[in-house]
């Protein structure tokens, strides 16, 4: 029954949006991490979505295709007293754009909410369908 596919579609979207929320929160948490595991400043991570069929061709869910690192150059701050400063006195800071990440966070959580609502709606309709003739 195709109404049940709504659960799978919304479920895949919930997973994808929560991965996006995870990436956003790690970006925000590391907005000032001058050194990451590889010795370089932290690079912002962005999630790329792709549509993936869940059942048949028409029910299309979402999947995280890859997590890419933001290629933009690191932010440079003039801090001559910092031990990590270069010869000119500049420190490379992560290329996290905090405003962009906040917008990303709001967008992801709204999308999550919409998908939860969609699931509730499908559940109600299925329960009403079960009550036919009673």
List residues binding another protein (CB under 8 A): 1-3, 5-6, 9-10, 12-13, 17, 20, 48-51, 56-62, 107, 111, 114-115, 118, 121-122, 124-125, 128-129, 132-133
Least Cβ distance, residue 133 to another protein (angstroms): 5
- Which is closer to another protein, CB of 26 or CB of 107? 107
Task: Give the 3-state secondary structure of residue 16.
Answer: helix
Least Cβ distance, residue 47 to another protein (angstroms): 9
SS3 labels along 53-110: EEECCCEEEEEEEEEEECCCCCEEEECCCCCCCCCCCEEEECCCCHHHHHHHHHHHHH
- Which is closer to another protein, CB of 86 or CB of 113? 113
């Amino acid at each position: 029954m195709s109404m049940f596919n709504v659960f799978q579609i919304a479920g895949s979207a919930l997973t994808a949006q929560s991965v996006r929320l995870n990436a956003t929160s790690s970006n925000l948490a590391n907005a000032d991490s001058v050194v990451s595991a590889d010795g370089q400043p932290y690079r912002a991570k962005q999630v790329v979505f792709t549509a993936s069929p869940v059942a048949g061709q028409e029910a299309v869910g979402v999947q995280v295709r890859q997590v890419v690192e933001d290629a933009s150059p690191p932010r440079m701050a003039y801090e001559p007293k910092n031990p990590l400063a270069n010869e000119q006195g500049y420190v490379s800071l992560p290329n996290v754009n905090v405003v962009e990440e906040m917008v990303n966070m709001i967008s992801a959580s709204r999308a999550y909410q919409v998908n939860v609502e969609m699931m509730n709606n499908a559940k109600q309709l299925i329960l009403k369908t079960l009550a036919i003739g009673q």
